[in-house]
Chain A
Amino acid sequence: MKRKNKWLEPAGLLRIAAHTLGWGLLAWLVWSFFDDPINPIQATIQRSGYYALVFLVLSLTATPLNTWFGFRPALKVRRTLGLFAFMFAGVHFLTFSVIDYGLDWNLLRGAIFEKPYILLGLTALTILLALAITSFKWWMKSMGKNWQRLHRLVYLAAPLVVIHYSWSIKGDVLRLQGDILEPLAFGLVVVLLLISRLPPIRRTAVGLRNRLALKMIQPKTRSTPPIEKPHP
């Protein structure tokens, strides 16, 4: 039998979808900046930050899709999704620091250090930067076990980004007043995605799935359990 075109396999399709979404949103962002909105800087900062959060959450979805549902192609787009999250976080930060504040250090210093709001986002961005730089195979190999340790920092970055986002809206998440629905929804999703990775919970999920697979495919012989890669 002839081998199918690899782009038509699930992983290939996912990759095409991720790139279409990522580059499409970037093009849309640039286009709308010049499309003469009233306050293009604020619009660009808000949108790029939002896209970064969406991609970060999507990248965190990849691993549970594999461990819980055995959907291995998801792992093939995880890095792409993470890199898009970093790209939009970079656009977000550069619009803020270069276009908005014109790299005016006096103003920037106040904005960054007067309140934790921006510092939190900056911490998350630093994490994403480190992960993006070390996202290549070469780093993965040469860092060995440390690579995985480093990349677990994404579990810190995601909640930081959600808090940073919830602080940017007008309302009070803790008092359930105001413009809070989206920050709460993102927070809930991130918490669930992190819980789904806790070893006991993950093991239960994998066990359940294996038993189910055994029953359905080969009730008599033992099958090798699906490979569970220890990925972030």
Chain B
Amino acid sequence: MTDYSKYKSFPVHPSEITPEHVYLNRRAFMKTAAVVGAGVFLAACGTEAASPASPTAPADLTTGSQTDELGDPLNTYEQITNYNNYYEYSLGKEDVAQSSQDLKTSPWDVQVYGLVNKPQTFALEDLLSQFTQEERIYRLRCVEGWSMVIPWMGFPLSALLEAVEPTSDARYVRFETLLDPEQMPKQSSSLWPWPYQEGLRLDEAMNNLTLLATGLYGKPLPPQNGAPIRLVVPWKYGFKSLKAIVKIELVPDEPETFWTTVAPNEYGFYANVNPDVAHPRWSQASERRIGELGRRETMMFNGYGDEVATLYENMDLSVHY
């Protein structure tokens, strides 16, 4: 059994505080989201709007803090939006920003169904207005061995789940990314089990850290980062945090996921960041923070042990990797 007391404790979590200017910025954020949505809609009606050669950063990026709670600086908007794993578009992380630009994110519905008392299909605008959007600065650790610090905007998944009232049989949550090979060209390849699916145990999904992200640096999410809405589970490897969500289903059993289907012996359902459990092929003991040369040691649960270690108290994490 892992002794979690050896992992550091981090007292104040920024998720508990929404800085005032970020809070005030919510209105601006939602307005932009609406404008961007309308723009996409017009473009779909035949306006020839050439996408920029390289997506440029909006001028008025906002964030409540320049660092995460450990004092490490945020990654830049440039880095966050130009280095993306999004196999629906490309296997090249630096190609995704370009190839995903035309994703149509409005109208966008998220269907929440399954073992719930109040199944409901939410329009994106409803999710933005019904749930308080707040900033969460999280570390993102990719299973490939790199990491970033990212100021997301969004709301806790728990708030959405409470609204639909899971029944007592619901034990897991299954998520699904948009399936649309016309927009996402790599979905035509039969080498991959599309659509991208992910899952969480219900208590993981209800944890306050688990976020449905809708924005980045106070701006709506760009397509390459999972627009218009994505999952962010900061104590798990990045592949758990799926993008462009269209379905959220409450289910009784552990769902199949994209990566457990591709290579079950390499990517587990839990996928908790864990320096002591190596990927079957490479060590996970260290990582490269994007923007830094050299490596830093990977933290248990990506540094979120205080919030999540209790979820796994009676589990052998080398078995449930």
Question: Measuring CB to CB, which residues of chain A are less than 8 angstroms from any residue of chain B?
Answer: 37-39, 41-42, 99-102, 104, 107, 110-111, 114-115, 117-118, 167-168, 170-172, 175-181
Contact of A110 among B79, B82, B263, B285 (CB under 8 A): B285
> Do B94 and A38 touch (CB < 8 A)?
yes
Within 8 Å by CB of B262, from A37, A168, A170, lies A170
Closest CB-CB distance, A134 to chain B, in whole Å?
32
Chain A residues with CB below 8 A from B279, complex form:
115
Q: List the B side residues contacting A110 at CB < 8 Å.
A: 283, 285-286
Residues of A within 8 A of B295 (CB): 100-102, 104, 107
Residues on B with beta carbons closer than 8 Å to the beta carbon of A168: 281
Q: Which residues of the partner chain B approach A178 to less than 8 Å between Cβ atoms?
A: 191-192, 262-263
Count CB-based A-B contacts (< 8 Å). Answer: 82
Cβ–Cβ contact A171 & B263, under 8 A: yes
Residue pair B281, A39 in contact (C-beta under 8 Å):
no
Q: Could you list some 10 contacts between A and B, CB below 8 A? A: A39-B93, A100-B295, A110-B286, A115-B278, A115-B281, A115-B282, A167-B281, A175-B263, A177-B193, A179-B91
- Pair A111/B283 contact, Cβ less than 8 Å: yes
Name which residue of chain A comes closest to B279, CB basis: A115
User: In the complex, which residues of chain B have a beta carbon less than 8 angstroms from the beta carbon of A172?
Assistant: 262-263, 266
In the bound complex, residues from chain A placing their C-beta under 8 Å from that of B288 are 39, 41-42, 100
| Chain B interface SS verdict (over half) | loop
Which residues of chain B (41-86) have a CB below 8 Å from chain A?
78-79, 82-83
Interface size class of B (residues with CB under 8 A): 20 to 34
Beta-carbon contact of B290 and A117 below 8 Å: no
State the majority secondary structure of interface residues on A. mixed
Binary flags per residue of B271-285, CB closer than 8 Å to A gives 1, else 0: 000000011111101
How many Å from the CB of B18 to the closest CB on chain A?
29
Residue in A38, A114, A167, A171 whose beta carbon sits within 8 Å of that of B290 in the complex:
A38
For residue A61, give the distance in angstroms from its CB to the closest CB of chain B. 27
Q: Which residues of B contact A179 (CB under 8 A)?
A: 91, 191
Closest beta carbon of chain A to B146's beta carbon, Å: 6
Q: In the complex, what residues of A have CB within 8 A of residue B83's CB?
A: 38-39
Q: A104-B295, A115-B283, A117-B281 are in contact. Are A38 and B93 (CB under 8 A)?
A: yes
- What CA separation (Å) do A210 and B118 show in the bound complex? 81
CB distance from A206 to the nearest CB of B (A): 40
Residues in B with CB closer than 8 Å to A114 are 278, 282-283, 285
Q: B191–A115 contact, CB under 8 A?
A: no
Q: Is the CB of A39 within 8 A of B290?
A: yes
Residues on B with C-beta less than 8 A from A170 are 144, 262-263
Known: A101-B294, A170-B144, A177-B192; 11 extra A-B contacts, CB below 8 A, are: A38-B290, A41-B293, A42-B146, A100-B288, A107-B285, A107-B297, A114-B278, A171-B263, A176-B191, A178-B191, A178-B262
Does B132 belong to the interface (CB within 8 Å)? no
Return the chain A residue nearest B143 by Cβ. Answer: A170
Tell me the smallest distance from the CB of B87 to a CB of chain A, in Å: 8
Are B294 and A100 in contact, with the CB atoms below 8 A?
yes
